[in-house]
Amino acid sequence: MSVVGAASLGVGLGVVTGMPLGVVNVAIVDAAAAGRRRFALGVGCGGALADLAHATLAFVGVGQLVTSRPELVRGLAIAAAVLIVGYAVVAWRRRPPARLAADDSSLARGFATGITLTLPNPGALVAWVAVASSLWSDASVAEAIVLGVGVGVGSGLWFALLATWVSRVRPDHPALRYIPKVALVALVAIAAIGVIKTVAPA
């Protein structure tokens, strides 16, 4: 496959795999609904970078070495769950009573949050290993890197679109009253499911 083909495949995979319900999507919706659009965009950028890393490791073949060690996967799952639940608790306690009139949030802090919530998650790496083995198991290192960068670009585009769309919902929309609760409960549920899937016996 050509470099252009690898990049195109990566962008497509990034968009498609970024759409399902996941930690980054939920965190973006929660922040954007509160009027913290810059933070939401930062979370998306951090999540996209983590996707880039996971996809690259998977297509290079390193990801399989990590996911083949159950004890390491369990440890990463527990660590990721702790980070996600911790973020949910902090977000709940700091939640403003109404959407912020002026966005004073930090893009850099959102970026760090996106990486922290996503990169340690072994579930994402396991999923990318499965994708790599079924789509392109013999990719060269250069091809894997190009594809990984494409994944990062694709998922970043989706996350930016999601943050922009949610932030444009009118401030008095009834849904904004329920989004925070649903989003943060979903974060805790995602963390719990991730631990159960890796700790429970097959």
- What is the pLDDT at residue 62? 79
Quickly state the pLDDT bin for 53 (edges 50, 70, 90): very high
- Which of these, 135, 4, 17, 30, lies nearest to 84 by C-alpha position? 30
128 vs 49, which has greater pLDDT?
49
Domain hosting 18: range is 3-199
Quickly state the pLDDT bin for 176 (edges 50, 70, 90): low
> And the tokens for 19?
């759409």
Count of structural domains within the chain: 1
Contact between 66 and 73 under an 8 Å Cβ cutoff? The reply is: yes
Q: Does residue 194 register a pLDDT over 80?
A: no
Question: What's the average model confidence in pLDDT over 155-166?
Answer: 94
What's the gap between Cα 165 and its chain centre?
17
> Distance (Å, rounded) from C-alpha 27 to C-alpha 8?
27
Question: What's the average model confidence in pLDDT over 77-91?
Answer: 82
Residue 139 per-residue DSSP state: -
Quickly state the pLDDT bin for 173 (edges 50, 70, 90): confident
- What is the pLDDT at residue 180? 67
Q: Does residue 67 register a pLDDT over 90?
A: no
DSSP string of 51-68, one letter each residue: HHHHHHHHHHTHHHHHHT
- What is the pLDDT at residue 185? 80
> And the tokens for 71?
């004890």
Contact between 126 and 73 under an 8 Å Cβ cutoff? The reply is: yes
Is the C-alpha dihedral spanning 174, 178, 183, 189 positive or negative?
Answer: negative
39 vs 19, which has greater pLDDT?
39
